[in-house]
Amino acid sequence: MSAGDVRMVGFRSDVGDSGAVCVRGGGTHWGVGGGPDGAREVSAPVGIVTLDPAEMTVMVGAGTALSDLAGELAIHGLEVGMKGPSGATVGGVLMVGRSALRRRRVGTIADVLLQADCVGADGVAFTAGGPTVKNVTGYDLCRLLVGSLGTLALVGRVILRTRPVPSRSLWLAGEVEPERVLDATYRPSCVLWDGVRTSVLLEGHGEDVDETAARLALLGLSATEPPVLPAGRGRWTGRLPSGGVLEVGSGVVHQADDGGPPTVSDGVRRLAGRMRASFDPSGRLNPGRDPYRVAA
């Protein structure tokens, strides 16, 4: 048995098969969707298990700090399409399920998770998904787990899709409508709009970035530092709140305070309730948390 497997056995034993339980990661999103409500806290395994640059995948303990993983991947010119604050863990960011600011380039966070080694509410270990970059074998449990706040199963170890780091990145900003910037660019990595100014992140081959930047200069955009966004989040409803910044095309508004959770139809609520009950009939996994209480 490999060291990684031994750590997974330990994780399973820590989770056990009774009593309210949750995984504590970096605690950077600890209150999202409600607190853990007194549940016993366990830790997920830490460390990179296998990194195979030729396969463009990495197997990593869910308790690994995202920044540690990013640092190791950068040595190989790779990255994962995930973003979190300092201290955030891989598992925590997946369970919260918010896509990276560069989602237009790196994809949504749901596209990143290929395989998850989990412990179910019954204390039994199971694996969701598969190790390859393409896989439609059985149901897509991985997508269901991303954003589930640990209410369906507790994730100990994952395989993630990696991507090559672009050779050049450049932020530009100017007082122009975002639609004009989108028309003048091909697949920009991020477009932000604060109601007056549009900021755009160009990434790719250096000459392509320069050529696009020259075109945007004609619209009045010039190079700038990466933007600092407000800490709260809300969902785009067609109107920008004061001080808010829209992440164009993502439905996310970065704003001072978190917005309220979006409304959900009764039918979806019932289906979600059946889903949670199906995976955790006794309600022991993150009992205080509800993914439908999350702002955006």
205 touching another protein, by CB under 8 A: yes
Given candidates 30, 31, 37, 135, which one binds another protein under the rule CB under 8 A? 135
241 touching another protein, by CB under 8 A: no
215 touching another protein, by CB under 8 A: no
Tokens of 277: 């009950």
In the complex, the smallest distance separating the C-beta of residue 115 from another protein, rounded to whole angstroms, is 10
**Residue-wise burial string across 103-126, b where 16 or more C-beta atoms lie within 10 A, e elsewhere:** bbbbebbbbbbbbbbbbbbeeeee
Question: How many other C-beta atoms are found inside a 10 Å radius of the C-beta of residue 267?
Answer: 8
Beta-strand relationship, 48-52 and 57-61: antiparallel
83 touching another protein, by CB under 8 A: no
In the complex, the smallest distance separating the C-beta of residue 281 from another protein, rounded to whole angstroms, is 10
275 touching another protein, by CB under 8 A: yes
The position carrying tokens 């549940």 is 39
Give me the phi and psi of 57, to 5 degrees please.
Answer: -135, 160
- Return the number of the residue (137 or 225) whose C-beta is nearest another protein: 137
Sign of CA dihedral 82, 88, 92, 97: negative
The residues that bridge with 22 in the sheet, in sequence order, are 41
CB 37 within 8 A of CB 287: yes
- Return the number of the residue (89 or 162) whose C-beta is nearest another protein: 162
- Return the number of the residue (30 or 139) whose C-beta is nearest another protein: 139
2 touching another protein, by CB under 8 A: no
In the complex, the smallest distance separating the C-beta of residue 178 from another protein, rounded to whole angstroms, is 10
11 touching another protein, by CB under 8 A: no
47 touching another protein, by CB under 8 A: no
In the complex, the smallest distance separating the C-beta of residue 267 from another protein, rounded to whole angstroms, is 4
Tokens of 25: 């990661």
Given candidates 34, 35, 47, 107, which one binds another protein under the rule CB under 8 A? 107
In the complex, the smallest distance separating the C-beta of residue 259 from another protein, rounded to whole angstroms, is 12
- Return the number of the residue (46 or 169) whose C-beta is nearest another protein: 169
Question: What string marks each residue from 60 to 79 as x (binds another protein by CB under 8 A) or -?
Answer: -----------------xx-
Given candidates 14, 68, 72, 111, which one binds another protein under the rule CB under 8 A? 111
Size of the residue set binding another protein (CB under 8 A): 79
177 touching another protein, by CB under 8 A: no
> Among residues 190, 207, 289, 208, which one has the least CA distance to residue 246?
190
DSSP per position, 67-124: HHHHHHHHHTTEE-S----TT-BHHHHHHHTPPPTTHHHH--GGGTEEEEEEE-TTS-
Q: How far is CA 69 from the centre of its chain?
A: 14
Q: Specify the DSSP class assigned to residue 111.
A: G
208 touching another protein, by CB under 8 A: yes
Distance CA 257, CA 88 (A): 20
30 touching another protein, by CB under 8 A: no
H-helix or E-strand spanning residue 206: helix 206-217
